[in-house]
Structure 1
Amino acid sequence: MIAALVFGIMIVRWSPVPYRFGWDGAIARRLLGFGLPLAAASLVVFASGYADQIVVGSVLGAQALGFYVLAFNLAAWPVSIFSLPLRAVAPAAFSAMKSEPHRMTSSFTRVLSILSCVAVPACLALSGAAGPVVAFVYGADWMPAAEPLVWLAGLATLRIWFELSYDYLVVAGRSGRLLAIQAVSFVAALPLMLLVVERLGPSGVAAAQLCVALVIAAPLYLASLSRIGVRIRAVLSAILMPILGGALAWGAGWLLSSAVAMPFAAASAAGLFAVAMAGILCLRHRDDLRLLRAAARGGAAT
């Protein structure tokens, strides 16, 4: 609250465009029509982000919740590394292209493809090597966290895709669609988690969320993107090779978990395989990567 107030004062004080107080009903209606659904969607996102932990803690107790939260935090590593930095710049980049819809949609699929090339192998390698990762990072006493991590790391891949799509839909002004997606997903996930938590435990709660994300949220995002010009075929083409590479990374992680006794060696080998796979996948996007590096330096691509 205080930070928002200070930021607002700074904008008014140092903005090159003079601000003056007033009221325009037409602008207010447009702002409310866009902002209220977006605010509601954000509330649903916040609720769904903690609903699984509330379900596990209230039904299974503090110990199970501790294992689940540890798995949740490990699964959030790829999201923090790949998605959060991108979300800091993607909305502004997409907004700058709003006057060129074709360029905007093309940029979305290119960014999605490059992001998938690095994020999918990382997430799925973490899923496949969940046991060694937990044993190495936290110790053998925390091994029950490996079971939900298998599912939560896979869910992290979808979260990264969804967050990029969320930002794109915000820029496109489709806040109502975002509210619908978040609400439907939450309404579907909550009873399913409550249904499986006692029988399947924390891993069942994690798997339930992954199922809802795959079966409900992903098609809704694809349909929403399709309505604003992003072809479903282009999206699927952008993520197909990363998914295949990620499947190989998952298999390598799983095999290493079974074959290598030392957790550090197994986790490190799985990570190196994921990095190598990401590098191979990114070779297809050499030109795009050169453009991104040139943009970051403020120069022109060679």
Structure 2
Amino acid sequence: MTGEFPAGAETAERRGLAGRFRRGLWLSLLNTLLSRVGTFVLGIVLARLLAPEEFGLYATALVVQGLLLAFNDFGAATAVVRRSGDVRPMLPTAWTISVLGGAFAFAACAVSAPALASALGSPHATEIVRFLAINVLLDGFACVPGAMLTRELAQARRLVADLSGTVVNLAVTATLAFLGWGAWSLAIGHVTGTALVVVLLFVLSGHVPNFGFSAEHFKEVGAYGISVVASSLLVMLAQSVPQMVTGSLLGATALGFFYLASNVANWPVSIVAGTVERVALAVFARAREHSTDLDRAAGGVMGLVGVALLPGGVALALLAEPVVEVVYGHRWAPAAVVLSGLAIAAIGRVFADMALHLLLAVGAPLSSALIQLWWLVTLVPATVVAAKLWGLPGIGWAQAAVALLVAVPVHLWGLRRAGIRVVSLVRGMLPSSLSAVATAGGLVLIRVLSTNPLLTVALGGLLTAAVVAYGWFRFRHTLDSALAAAE
């Protein structure tokens, strides 16, 4: 006990946290599922309207945008979510930092777009890169209201904003694609959707731009934010390296195949990570603030994530070829050869992201940055060598090897140094690991017995869904007990 609350009050705090997390998790899951279903359907349509090279041009712009988004708010959002006590005095300084950071990143991209596009092997993507950088500017305005909704676990309001932006994005993109706008349809739809999300975040959070400056709060955000920015930038670089190498060594068409494979590989990852990342940092920070056993809370969260993530990732890796053929058509078959490796790599990336949230929650952002640096230093040469030796498939499996053999072990080492007991995480992951093994065995049998791609995908999907549903039902109370336990 902390001595700040009576025993009953402290237990109620923890149970309240478990309930808020559970509600936030379900609403976040609904948010992610609705967004991904729409994106999935649109992706199928666009794959039949656009050439692989056009996807490659858009992918180039997304790489640049991702790198800029990694540091445009200079850690202000994370600082707002994590701060204990009354956060309102910090908000004007956070507004100033995030908006000026977004404006600076946008201006830098406008000037350097030709060099960036050429370096990524797609010089024709220059103007798309410049246009998509508008999202970076908009993100500077979304930082504070989005962080406040995350801090409050107000996922119902976040659902309204995100889903509205997704609907507008998909509608604009589909319309322009049918009219023959090519890669520009993707870029314009993305920016239009983001603009709507920003406006809705203002309305739904009750926070509009309110600029100010406090040296005390600037130091607080800066001291914490520099490490957060460095870590986030390294994460984005690690995620962007394969696209950079593909575009520069193999060309825009190969990048188009890679982009499609990467999107497919991220199906289970985006659903799980997109669901949890909106609530994980806030929950870990509040658990630490209320003196909840953070080891048990972390094990419960990661175990729940693994129940869906591991079987889903294994299914995509083993069903890559029939999935691409059934969903996107035969001309996209080259994407299947890289999909298997990327699906395995995506599993490692999600758990690395969860470890990052934990390190931020316990106040060890510098450790997280050093860990990401190890990942990046290993990934760059591995990807380049694999691309030259084995082409596109080599790039996918290089990501898998580095994620599993370097990124995950190094993150576990970092958590141990930060005081998190690794054994609690391993114990939490054991049930989902057994589920993944069972899924893999069943899928191998299906591949052996079925030669029809559609039947293979249908049976494999049913098996995977059954395993995930059973795992969720069987272990759904584990997280509640971990968060609500009064030590």
**Equivalent residue for 2:455, pick from 265, 273, 287:** 265
Displacement over 6 Å in runs of 4+? 289-292
Deviation at 1:240, TM superposition (A): 2.5
Asked if 1:160 corresponds to 2:350, the answer is yes
1:235 matches 2:425:
yes
Distance change in 2, residues 1:70/1:226 (3 Å) = same
Matched, 1:22 2:158: no
For structure 2, which runs of at least 5 residues remain unmatched after alignment? 1-136, 146-201
Deviation at residue 43 of structure 1 after TM alignment = 1.5
The aligned residue for residue 81 of structure 2 is none
> What's the TM-score once normalised by structure 2's chain length?
0.55
> Could you tell me how far apart the structure 2 residues matched to 1:229 and 1:7 are?
30
Report if aligned partners of 2:295, 2:425 keep a CA contact under 8 Å in 1: no
Q: Determine the C-alpha separation between the residues in 1 that align with 2:214 and 2:402.
A: 45
Query: Kindly tell me: are residues 59 and 4 of structure 1, through their superposed partners in 2, closer, same or farther at Cα, counting changes over 3 Å?
Result: closer
Match of 1:246 among 412, 436, 441: 436
Aligned equivalent of 1:298: none
CA change 1:247–1:63 in 2 (3 A) is farther
Alpha-carbon contact 2:301-2:479 (below 8 Å) kept? no
- Helix, strand or coil at the partner of 1:96: helix
Would the aligned equivalents of 2:311 and 2:464 in 1 still touch at CA under 8 Å? yes
Q: Is residue 320–residue 340 contact of structure 2 (8 Å, CA) maintained in 1? A: yes
Instruction: Decide which moves more: 128-137 or 207-216.
Output: 207-216
Give 3-state SS (helix, strand or coil) of 2:279's partner: helix
Q: 1:191 deviation in Å?
A: 0.8
Asked if the contact 1:128–1:249 (Cα under 8 Å) also holds between the matched residues in 2, the reply is no
- The runs of 5 or more residues in structure 1 that have no matched partner are 296-302
Q: TM-score with structure 1 length normalisation? A: 0.85
What residue is the counterpart of 1:190 in the other structure? 380
- What root-mean-square deviation, in Å, do the aligned CA atoms of Structure 1 and Structure 2 show? 2.7
> Is the 8 Å Cα contact of residues 253 and 267 (structure 1) preserved in structure 2?
no
Distance 2:418 2:234 in 1: 23
Pair 129,33 (structure 1): closer, same or farther in 2 beyond 3 Å? same
Distance in structure 1 (CA, Å) of the matches to 2:332 and 2:444 = 19
Identity across matched positions, percent: 28
**What are the residue-to-residue correspondences of 1:194-233 with 2, within 5 Å?**
194-233=384-423
Q: Distance in 1 between matches of 2:244 and 2:139?
A: 29
- 1:63 pairs with 2:253: yes
Change (3 A) 1:137 1:2: closer
Classify 1:204/1:251 alpha carbon distance in 2 versus 1 (closer, same or farther; 3 Å). farther
The CA deviation at 1:234 is 1.8
Distance in structure 1 (CA, Å) of the matches to 2:437 and 2:326: 23
SS of the residue aligned with 2:287?
Answer: coil
Q: 1:21 to 1:14 in 2, by over 3 A?
A: farther
Q: 1:87 aligns with which of 270, 277, 295?
A: 277
Matched residue SS, 1:57: helix
Residue 283 of structure 1 and its aligned partner are, at CA, apart by 4.2
Q: Does residue 1:143 correspond to 2:333, yes or no?
A: yes
Of the three residues 230, 234, 241, the one matched with 1:51 is 241
1:105 equivalent in alignment to 2:105: no
Shift of 1:20: 6.9
Cα displacement (A) at 1:275: 1.4
Q: Structure 2: how far apart are the matches of 1:237 and 1:191?
A: 34
- Are the counterparts in 1 of residues 297 and 479 from structure 2 also a CA contact under 8 Å? no
Q: Deviations over 1:96-116 (max 9, x none)?
A: 111345522211101111110
Asked if residue 131 in structure 1 is aligned to residue 321 in structure 2, the reply is yes
Q: Supply the AA of the counterpart residue of 2:314.
A: L
**Inter-partner Cα distance in structure 1 for 2:220 and 2:142:** 26
Query: Counterparts of 1:6-45 in structure 2 under 5 Å?
Result: 21-24=213-216, 28-45=218-235
Which whole-Å deviations, capped at 9, do the CAs of 1:190-215 have from their partners, x for residues lacking one? Answer: 11111121221112111112111122
Residue 170 of structure 2 corresponds to: none
1:224 CA drift (Å)? 1.6
